[in-house]
Chain A
């Protein structure tokens, strides 16, 4: 305990060439999380969902406090009651949507239209809620993105992918139209996603420094292109085995089901590849004052994780869910490094943010958490 002031060693001013690399340490245990998970699930079911706000807070607190950087855990500061209010509001909105989609279809376009209008608000507010109730070393994060920014990020480039999916029934069945729709989608979706990530990063801040984002849509496109090749590869593999390698006499129903496995495996692999590489892409192109990040997730590692998790969860009738959650978090934490270039003192928390953190329970009405 005699170590001096700061634990994150700082590079001297004259030679800030070599950045300081700090690993994340994951301290969560499946055993411990199992108890938290099961008790909160039980109380949520017994109270018909009312307790879910407490459950969310308890679980998120555990996730945050399990991840430490240089001996300091992250802190989740949200209080259950504001989350409960947010959930009640969200549940009411969902009930309107549910009712119109089940019984009164003429109203559905209006409901969806209202959804389109409030979506940017929901995104910017939930980002702000998440940021303001997350803290590290007694300094809260912040998010200053507004409605207009979110609307631009979602709807400017997003219009094309949304239109393509929205008009699915029109082009379904016609090859030419489907090809045009598909091309339009591929040539806009990666750029749209990059724009959305840019909005999320650029308006987030910590210690008075805003995030700076430098990934491009082209890089997103490359990730999705490889993922597409993986899916096609899985399909070709099963088609070749099913129709050329195996004689027709052996093509029973069960065999055909078996043959669809490579397709499914290809899909899972592609999904894992996208998850890992998009995550890497965003983190590795984000800068926050003197901080940079290095994310080294791999598609193979993620796919292995998904596969074993699914196996464990199904085989244990869900009881291994906490184990799956913990090892996934651990894998993500183990593959993340924080690079400090320069001095941490460049980050300064306003006195205000500390006060806000203490009074987080008074969360304003508009900071409601809308995640259902």
Chain B
């Protein structure tokens, strides 16, 4: 800076009154001279601080006595001491069209890669470290709530049927890591029909209609093996982690749009959640097929019972198919048949 001479034209603000005064700042031999209205003031050029550059907007030089000098001559301003080094680097990036184009490409790559691989892998790692007990309160509360509501009535199945299925199921999960957490509950549930589900924490619920629809215990076990898969693979925890991460990412990306009150911000995360759920269903299917084969049962039982469920259900997939959380049933049946013949994804642990 020593030896350089240049003059900046701009405005001076004394910090005491909101008045704008035309002024000149001359920099010469390490000295800065501020001239305004026949007055002048001297500073050491090294004591000036220039505010970060943003776009083409005028910047401000903070003067040691609390005054401020506004100026738009960026080439010269860049030769003075800068207030923020980190922001200077960001400002440099912000000025380049090539960087902007690269950013678009990088964002698409980051989002696609993170969504498809990074996030599921990270959620799996994190979920494995969180004990299953964390979910137990939630599962217990859910069961109490369902029992108190119209949804669940006590099971009408005979005690011997319940005991037989429990006993066979115990054999199925005995060697699994979360074996001591499983509990099987039978419930009558008119509105839900033939169904089974895993509550958070390891409680499995199967409806009377489901047991009656199955033509053999093997079919019941095939359905329950799928639910065990959800528990063993920590789908509840992974679901919550992934959905939260997607929601945070969506909020980050659409943050600017949200301030404009545009009602499109939530859409991407809704689609994302449906997509993840379908992945989990396929994963639980694969887990079930492996578990069944290990215990000398055929995944064919899964295929046949799924076929019957589909025949039982009058729902029409229709146009909203891409929003459904379960993979199309036909696909799942085919995969079960393939697994029964020793083909498909059962042998190679792809997930």
In the bound complex, how far is the Cα of B17 from the Cα of A207, in angstroms? 8
A261 to chain B, nearest CB (A): 13
In the bound complex, how far is the Cα of B57 from the Cα of A105, in angstroms? 50
What residues of B have a CB within 8 angstroms of the CB of A349 in the complex?
A: 15-18
In the bound complex, how far is the Cα of B21 from the Cα of A4, in angstroms? 7
Asked if A351 and B94 make an inter-chain contact with CB atoms under 8 angstroms apart, the answer reads: no
| Chain B residue total in the interface (Cβ 8 A) | 68
Beta-carbon contacts of B82-100 to A below 8 Å, as 1s and 0s? 0010110011011111011
Asked, given contacts A35-B99, A41-B107, A345-B17, whether A2 binds B58 with beta carbons under 8 Å apart, the answer is no
Check if B159 is an interface residue, CB within 8 A of chain A: no
In the bound complex, how far is the Cα of B68 from the Cα of A28, in angstroms? 23
Q: Tell which of A120-128, A219-227, A239-247, A307-315 binds the partner.
A: A307-315
Partner among A41, A105, A137 whose Cβ is within 8 Å of the Cβ of B138:
A105
Beta-carbon contacts of A22-61 to B below 8 Å, as 1s and 0s? 0000011100111111111111111001001010011101
Asked if B141 and A105 make an inter-chain contact with CB atoms under 8 angstroms apart, the answer reads: yes
What residues of A have a CB within 8 angstroms of the CB of B260 in the complex?
A: 306, 309, 324-325, 328
Asked if B58 and A103 make an inter-chain contact with CB atoms under 8 angstroms apart, the answer reads: no
Partner among A49, A73, A322 whose Cβ is within 8 Å of the Cβ of B256:
A322
Beta-carbon contacts of A57-82 to B below 8 Å, as 1s and 0s? 11101100110001111010001100
Asked, given contacts A1-B22, A325-B256, whether A358 binds B62 with beta carbons under 8 Å apart, the answer is yes
Asked if B17 and A38 make an inter-chain contact with CB atoms under 8 angstroms apart, the answer reads: no
Asked if B17 and A348 make an inter-chain contact with CB atoms under 8 angstroms apart, the answer reads: yes
Asked if B94 and A35 make an inter-chain contact with CB atoms under 8 angstroms apart, the answer reads: yes
Partner among B20, B37, B90 whose Cβ is within 8 Å of the Cβ of A58:
B90
Q: Using a Cβ cutoff of 8 Å, how many contacts connect chains A and B?
A: 194
Check if A319 is an interface residue, CB within 8 A of chain B: yes
B26 to chain A, nearest CB (A): 14
What residues of A have a CB within 8 angstroms of the CB of B66 in the complex?
A: 138, 351, 354-355, 358
In the bound complex, how far is the Cα of B72 from the Cα of A65, in angstroms? 12
Asked if A65 and B104 make an inter-chain contact with CB atoms under 8 angstroms apart, the answer reads: no
Asked if A72 and B103 make an inter-chain contact with CB atoms under 8 angstroms apart, the answer reads: no
In the bound complex, how far is the Cα of B100 from the Cα of A322, in angstroms? 13
Q: Which residue of A lies closest to B318 (CB)?
A: A253
Asked if A79 and B84 make an inter-chain contact with CB atoms under 8 angstroms apart, the answer reads: yes
What residues of A have a CB within 8 angstroms of the CB of B278 in the complex?
A: none
What residues of A have a CB within 8 angstroms of the CB of B11 in the complex?
A: 71-72
Asked if B99 and A45 make an inter-chain contact with CB atoms under 8 angstroms apart, the answer reads: no
Asked, given contacts A138-B15, A358-B66, whether A38 binds B104 with beta carbons under 8 Å apart, the answer is yes
B203 to chain A, nearest CB (A): 15
Q: Within B186-229, which residues are at the interface with A (CB < 8 Å)?
A: 200
Asked if A103 and B135 make an inter-chain contact with CB atoms under 8 angstroms apart, the answer reads: yes
Asked if B138 and A104 make an inter-chain contact with CB atoms under 8 angstroms apart, the answer reads: yes
Partner among A39, A45, A71 whose Cβ is within 8 Å of the Cβ of B93:
A39
What residues of A have a CB within 8 angstroms of the CB of B254 in the complex?
A: 318, 321
In the bound complex, how far is the Cα of B142 from the Cα of A102, in angstroms? 12
B322 to chain A, nearest CB (A): 17
Asked if A46 and B106 make an inter-chain contact with CB atoms under 8 angstroms apart, the answer reads: yes
Q: Tell which of B48-56, B148-156, B288-296 binds the partner.
A: B48-56
Partner among B20, B49, B90, B262 whose Cβ is within 8 Å of the Cβ of A309:
B262
In the bound complex, how far is the Cα of B62 from the Cα of A252, in angstroms? 68
B20 to chain A, nearest CB (A): 4
What residues of A have a CB within 8 angstroms of the CB of B90 in the complex?
A: 39-40, 43, 54, 58
Q: Tell which of A5-13, A153-161, A184-192 binds the partner.
A: A5-13
B256 to chain A, nearest CB (A): 5
Partner among A66, A275, A324 whose Cβ is within 8 Å of the Cβ of B57:
A66
Asked if A33 and B18 make an inter-chain contact with CB atoms under 8 angstroms apart, the answer reads: no
What residues of B have a CB within 8 angstroms of the CB of A80 in the complex?
A: 86-87
What residues of A have a CB within 8 angstroms of the CB of B94 in the complex?
A: 35-36, 39-40, 58
Check if B323 is an interface residue, CB within 8 A of chain A: no
Check if A213 is an interface residue, CB within 8 A of chain B: no
In the bound complex, how far is the Cα of B18 from the Cα of A38, in angstroms? 35
Asked if A32 and B106 make an inter-chain contact with CB atoms under 8 angstroms apart, the answer reads: no
Asked if A138 and B51 make an inter-chain contact with CB atoms under 8 angstroms apart, the answer reads: no
In the bound complex, how far is the Cα of B15 from the Cα of A358, in angstroms? 11
Asked, given contacts A62-B57, A328-B260, whether A54 binds B86 with beta carbons under 8 Å apart, the answer is yes
Asked, given contacts A102-B240, A104-B138, whether A61 binds B52 with beta carbons under 8 Å apart, the answer is yes
B240 to chain A, nearest CB (A): 5
B122 to chain A, nearest CB (A): 10
Check if A119 is an interface residue, CB within 8 A of chain B: no
What residues of B have a CB within 8 angstroms of the CB of A66 in the complex?
A: 55, 57
In the bound complex, how far is the Cα of B202 from the Cα of A222, in angstroms? 55
Asked if A139 and B18 make an inter-chain contact with CB atoms under 8 angstroms apart, the answer reads: yes
B167 to chain A, nearest CB (A): 31
Partner among B86, B107, B137, B252 whose Cβ is within 8 Å of the Cβ of A104:
B137
In the bound complex, how far is the Cα of B103 from the Cα of A319, in angstroms? 12
Asked if B257 and A318 make an inter-chain contact with CB atoms under 8 angstroms apart, the answer reads: yes
Which residue numbers of A lie inside 8 Å of B, CB to CB?
1-8, 27-29, 32-46, 49, 52, 54, 57-59, 61-62, 65-66, 70-73, 75, 79-80, 98, 102-106, 136-139, 207, 268, 271, 275, 306, 309-310, 313-314, 318-319, 321-322, 324-325, 328, 344-345, 347-349, 351, 353-355, 357-358
**A-B pairs with beta carbons under 8 Å apart, 27 shown:** A5-B19, A7-B19, A8-B18, A32-B55, A35-B94, A35-B96, A41-B107, A42-B110, A45-B107, A45-B252, A71-B11, A72-B70, A75-B60, A80-B87, A103-B134, A103-B135, A138-B14, A268-B263, A306-B261, A306-B262, A309-B260, A318-B257, A324-B256, A325-B259, A349-B16, A351-B66, A354-B15
- Which 6 interchain pairs have the tightest Cβ spacing? A354-B15, A65-B57, A138-B13, A42-B103, A354-B66, A138-B68
Which residue numbers of B lie inside 8 Å of A, CB to CB?
9, 11, 13-22, 24, 37, 49, 51-52, 54-58, 60, 62, 66-68, 70, 84, 86-87, 90-91, 93-97, 99-100, 103-104, 106-107, 110-111, 114, 134-135, 137-138, 141, 200, 240, 244, 248-249, 252-254, 256-257, 259-264
